[in-house]
Structure 1
Amino acid sequence: MALQIGRAFQDGIDEFLSERGAVFAGAFIVLGLANGVIWASLSQSLFDLFLEMLPPSAQANQAAMGSNTALALDIPVAVAAVSALALFIVSEALNIVTIRAFASDANDPIPDNIGRRLGKTVAIGIAAGILTGIAVVIGLVFIIIPGLVLALLFFFVRQEIALNDSGVIESISNSISLVTDNLIATFVIAVVLAVLGLVLGGAFGFLPISLPPMVLTTVSTILSSVVGVFSIAVTTVAYLQATESDYDVAHETESIGGL
């Protein structure tokens, strides 16, 4: 089945505005704020260690420069580093279960089967994310365009892992195949989601009023988290279309039931 841009966004919006969307938006907001606190704390702790290594004459100048630590807490570097790693794993797990939830035709906001083989799936997701991330970074070094092309080709990797239980190489290969079969539609969806994330994520930075750093960081984190959930909904719906799953049958049944 050909990927339909309008339908992907319409059905993605419906999923996002549902009770299920609200539940996962809340989860992503909590995770986003926790990440903000931990990474700000880690940054502040590392900055303080850096200051201690400088001669006294240079410490004052460096301290005056400061760092972006609006949400920082006074916690040890080791604790912050371990917490950051734990939240990274939790983030991958939340992405996986969110994709599975949006793909499910169950009525419950949190379907029963979204946690199947979660440990193994998260490990595969992290490995695939590292591999594709390295490839994209290398591509960006070469005049940017190759990196953007690779990022587009890897658009459905996480959906492949979460819904098709694919391995690292298989998920990358299948994503490339799906994207090339639906190149224009996938490109448009990816660009719209990227622009939406950039605009809403940095919207408060362009306001003609001055906001406290903590407020600005908190609001930006919340908006970015919400956009992230919406992007997962749209991308998952698009994946279901492109793979010709039971998506059509489920939605046709809903339409008949609503008549």
Structure 2
Amino acid sequence: MALQIGRAFQDGIDELLSERGAVFAGVFIVYGLLSSVVWASLSQAFTELFLGQLPSDAQVNQAAMAGGTPLALDLPLAVAAVGALVLFVVSEALNIVAIRAFASDDREPIPDNVGRRLGKTVVVAIAAGILTTIAVGIGLVLLIIPGLVFALLFFFVRQEIALNDSGIIESISNSVGIVTDNLLATFVLAVVLAVLGFVLGGAFSLLPISLPPMVLTTVSTVLSSVVTVFSIAVTTVAYLQVAESGYTQQTESIGEL
């Protein structure tokens, strides 16, 4: 089946407004706020470490750099770094679980099988994410356009890993094949989701609204988290449209184990 953009967004909206969508929105909001605190604390710890290496007179001139970080806590650098690493792994696990939940026919908010082989799947997803990020980064350095092309071709890598238990190379190859067969529709889908994420997540903090930085950061994080859940739902629905038969066969084989 060809990728149907309108149906993907409509089904994504339905999923977001469902009980399952509400559950994942809540989970991702909590994760987003916690992540903001940890990363702000890590940034502040690095800044303080940097300032501590400066001469005393320079520290006075640069003192403003050490403050004003919204949501930051006074954490040791090592603690903040470990927290950021743990949250990175948790983020990948949450994405995998959300994809499996939105792909499931089970109407329970959290289906029973979403945690299958989760540890191994997360490791594969992280490795694939690192590899694709390097490829996109190199592409961006090479006149930007190749990086954007790579990012588009890797659009369904995480869905391949989460739903079909694909390996690193296999998931990348399958994603490239799916996107190539549905190039224009995937491009439009990716652009709309990116614009939506920017408008509701990033641009809000740029509005001329007289609110404390902590409030602006919190609101932006909440909106970004909801958009993230919506994007996962839409991308997963779109993936199922073009790879439904393969996922159905995989699900049946797993059920026989």
Instruction: Using structure 2 for the length normalisation, give the TM-score.
Output: 0.94
Quick check: 1:47 aligned with 2:47? yes
2:96 and 2:158 in contact (8 A); partners too: yes
The aligned counterpart of 1:12 is: 12
| Separation in 1, partners of 2:116, 2:205 | 41
Map 1:118-197; keep pairs closer than 5 Å: 118-197=118-197
Partner SS for 1:245: helix
1:154 and 1:175 in contact (8 A); partners too: yes
For structure 2, the residue ranges without an aligned partner over 5 or more in a row are 249-257
Residue identity opposite 2:32 in structure 1? G
Partner SS for 1:155: coil
Runs of 4+ in 1 over 6 A off after TM superposition: none
After TM superposition, give the deviation of residue 69 of structure 1 in Å.
1.6
1:41 and 1:74 in contact (8 A); partners too: yes
1:99 and 1:159 in contact (8 A); partners too: yes
Deviation track 1:171-196 (CA, whole Å, cap 9, x = no partner) reads 00000000000001100000000000
| Separation in 2, partners of 1:140, 1:49 | 31
The aligned counterpart of 1:33 is: 33
| Separation in 1, partners of 2:75, 2:131 | 32
| Separation in 2, partners of 1:73, 1:64 | 17
| Separation in 1, partners of 2:52, 2:208 | 38
Deviation track 1:108-137 (CA, whole Å, cap 9, x = no partner) reads 000000000000000000000000000000
Partner SS for 1:244: helix
After TM superposition, give the deviation of residue 246 of structure 1 in Å.
8.6
Residue identity opposite 2:142 in structure 1? F
The aligned counterpart of 1:60 is: 60
After TM superposition, give the deviation of residue 68 of structure 1 in Å.
5.6
1:92 and 1:122 in contact (8 A); partners too: yes
1:25 and 1:229 in contact (8 A); partners too: yes
Deviation track 1:136-158 (CA, whole Å, cap 9, x = no partner) reads 00000011100000000000000
Superposed CA RMSD in Å reads 1.4
Residue identity opposite 2:170 in structure 1? E
Residue identity opposite 2:236 in structure 1? T
2:205 and 2:217 in contact (8 A); partners too: no
Residues paired across the two proteins, number? 248
Deviation track 1:70-124 (CA, whole Å, cap 9, x = no partner) reads 1111111111111110010000000000000000000100000000000000000
| Separation in 1, partners of 2:193, 2:68 | 27
For structure 1, the residue ranges without an aligned partner over 5 or more in a row are 249-259
| Separation in 2, partners of 1:55, 1:86 | 34
| Separation in 1, partners of 2:55, 2:136 | 39
Q: Which moved more, 1:60-69 or 1:124-133?
A: 60-69
| Separation in 2, partners of 1:247, 1:96 | 15
After TM superposition, give the deviation of residue 244 of structure 1 in Å.
3.0
